[in-house]
């Protein structure tokens, strides 16, 4: 009887296949490491070596309109008594342009969210700062803003973050949740007078809406 001998499958293709998988895996790992390093470098540069913020500049028509709003805030009694004309819509663009006029445009940028105001601030940390003293850094402050049931303006610090990382409350003097307006209004007659003129306040994405008292 003739015996049929089965030949063993060649091992070379499997070896090549295994080598290919290993090389692909190594390439993916090195690629991810490169992306992480690049991202980390961008994070460090953005946070600790920040470029100046680009100041906002209004057109002539926008500036005239905003100047009119500022005059209204300075003398609300001079405008008509109807509700429509006593309501001001102020955009974050106008606020940032005002900061630029005060020579702050390269270091402060304000954004309006739903019920919140946030500000990116570039500054050199003082010697007693809890992290990175004497280092130029970019921080972001986020405030919750509303009118209290007693019809008083409330401005509470919700968060203070460094490079997107929220700093512990104990590092910043336990001021998260503290009403910063209430802390200062009693000692500042000018602030009391200004707040007394506000009937309602709403903050939405990109816009601050103020209704003024008669």
Angstrom distance (rounded) from CA 178 to CA 87 = 28
Laid out side by side, the sheet with 198-204 consists of: 87-91, 207-212, 198-204
User: From the CB of residue 15, how many other CB atoms can be counted at a distance below 10 Å?
Assistant: 10
pLDDT digits (tens, 9 = 90+) for 4-29: 444 444 555 555 566 555 555 555 55
pLDDT band at 150 (very low <50, low <70, confident <90, very high): low
pLDDT digits (tens, 9 = 90+) for 151-198: 677 888 899 888 888 888 887 888 888 887 776 666 677 777 777 777
pLDDT value, residue 35? 44
pLDDT band at 134 (very low <50, low <70, confident <90, very high): confident
pTM: 0.70
């Amino acid at each position: 009887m003739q015996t049929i001998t089965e030949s063993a499958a060649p091992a070379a293709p499997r070896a090549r296949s295994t080598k290919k998988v290993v090389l692909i895996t190594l390439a993916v790992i090195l690629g991810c490491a490169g992306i992480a390093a690049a991202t980390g470098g961008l994070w460090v540069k953005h946070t600790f070596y920040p470029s100046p913020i680009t100041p906002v500049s209004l057109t002539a028509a926008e500036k005239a309109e905003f100047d009119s709003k500022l005059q209204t805030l300075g003398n609300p009694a001079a405008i008509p008594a109807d509700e429509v004309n006593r309501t001001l819509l102020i955009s974050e663009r106008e606020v940032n342009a005002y900061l630029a006029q005060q020579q702050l445009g390269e270091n402060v940028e304000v954004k309006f969210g739903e019920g919140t105001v946030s500000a990116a601030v570039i500054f050199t940390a003082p010697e007693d700062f809890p992290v990175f003293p004497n280092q130029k850094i970019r921080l972001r402050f986020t405030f919750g803003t509303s009118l209290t049931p007693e019809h008083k303006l409330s401005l509470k610090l919700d968060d203070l973050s460094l490079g997107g990382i929220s700093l512990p409350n104990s590092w910043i003097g336990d001021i998260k949740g503290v009403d910063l307006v209430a802390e200062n209004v009693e000692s500042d007659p000018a602030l009391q007078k200004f707040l007394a003129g506000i009937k309602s306040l709403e903050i939405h994405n990109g816009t601050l809406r103020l209704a003024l008292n008669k």
